[in-house]
Amino acid sequence: MLFTLKKPFRTATVIALSVLLSACTSISTRHDSGLQDAYSDRNHDIATDVASCQHQLQTAPKNMVAELDITDIGFLNWNIKKGELNNWQEDINQLGRGKDLVLIQEAVLNPDFIGAIEGLDHWSFSPGYHGSSGLTGVMTLSRGVPLVQCNFQTYEPWVGTPKATNITAYGLTNSDKTLVVINLHGVNFTLGVTEFEMQIDQIRQILKNHSGPVILSGDFNTWRLGRMEILNTLAQDLDLTPLTFKDDHRKKVFGFHLDHSYVRGMTVNSTNTRIVTSSDHNPISASFGL
């Protein structure tokens, strides 16, 4: 049975787990079932392989209480640079106010991130690198209850550190469809594109049997043409539409944008990017409807 912990108990649990994780600096994040409860505010299994994730998405319960409003879904995506720069909390609080989904890359598993935005009481975390800041990865904050959570890691071939992918699914008001949300931090330090292509192909396999709406977003580290071509092919194969911006302030490296957001099965009502000094990436925001 799924249930949601009350916020004070959830925060206390996270504080205790954060202390434990910070102390264990040598810990491996490869599918350690003993730490799984630290990655979600939900009492459910977290899938860590493609087949299990596909099964959970296909059998997810419908018509949950805390669904997302099908007519207006506010969205934010941001690589927050582990909260290392000044004013990140003020910025994410302001940028995330009124949003229903906030996708963070380079999030740190601690109460400052989990409770960063009032009203977004549910969180899902997929672990990546464990460094001096603590356990970092990708985090999805949501107004609706996540029905499903899948966590994946792809390892950098040179430095051996993992990059994380988090997949969640949400019920929608007045609909029997499920919204699948993918929050991805792309592998970066590679000579070729093999590892990046493997990471993107996981998304292809998971979404190929999902007929409902989709949001795919993150810092894809698409700093070269070959990487961008792989991402474009995925979008074409799955009928994903990229968000475009009148004033595009997304970070570029070698002339290519790193951060992208795609949607399927939804109307894009508005999009925006904003220049900030609280991270080395600028956030993306949008509003969707069905």
Q: How many residues does the chain have?
A: 290
User: Which residues contact residue 104 at a Cβ distance below 8 angstroms, ignoring those fewer than 6 apart?
Assistant: 78, 79, 80, 92, 113, 138, 139, 140, 141, 183
Q: Is the pLDDT of residue 19 over 50?
A: no
Check whether 20 has a pLDDT greater than 60: no
Residue 268 domain-assigned? yes
**CATH number of residue 20's parent domain:** 3.60.10.10
Question: Is residue 152 in some structural domain?
Answer: yes
Q: Which of 195, 172, 169, 204 is nearest to 73 (CA)?
A: 172
Is the pTM here over 0.85, yes or no?
yes
Query: In this structure, what DSSP letter does residue 195 have?
Result: H
Of residues 56 and 32, the one with the higher pLDDT is: 56
* Burial class of residue 242, CB neighbours in 10 A (0-12, 13-18, 19+): middle
Q: What is the pLDDT of residue 38?
A: 78
Under the banding of pLDDT at 50, 70 and 90, the label for residue 60 is confident
Domain contains 33: yes
Q: What is the pLDDT at residue 37?
A: 59
* Domain assignment of residue 2, yes or no: no
Q: What is the pLDDT of residues 227-265, one digit of tens each?
A: 999 999 999 999 999 999 999 999 999 999 999 999 999
Predicted local confidence at residue 206, as pLDDT: 96
Q: What are the tokens at 76?
A: 């934010």
Residue the block writes with tokens 């007929």:
211
- Asked if residue 166 is part of any domain, the answer here is yes
Q: Do 75 and 243 form a contact (C-beta atoms < 8 A)?
A: no
Torsion of CA 16, 17, 19, 20, to 10 degrees: 120
Look at residue 103 and tell me if it is in a domain.
Answer: yes
List residues bridging with 74 in a β-sheet: 287
Q: Residue 267: how many CB atoms within 10 A of its CB?
A: 10
Is residue 265 domain-resident? yes
- Could you tell me if residue 17 is inside a domain? yes
Read off the pLDDT of residues 67-118 as tens digits, 9 standing for 90 and up. Answer: 899 899 999 999 999 999 999 999 999 999 999 999 999 999 999 999 999 9
Selection from 42, 269, 61 nearest residue 149 by Cα: 42
Give the total number of structural domains in the chain: 1
Of 22 and 137, more confident: 137
User: What's the pLDDT score for residue 64?
Assistant: 62
User: pLDDT, tens digit, for every residue of 176-230?
Assistant: 889 999 999 999 987 789 999 999 999 999 999 999 999 999 999 999 999 999 9
pLDDT-derived band at 66, boundaries 50, 70, 90: low
pLDDT (average), residues 32-36:
41
Domain range for 263: 7-289
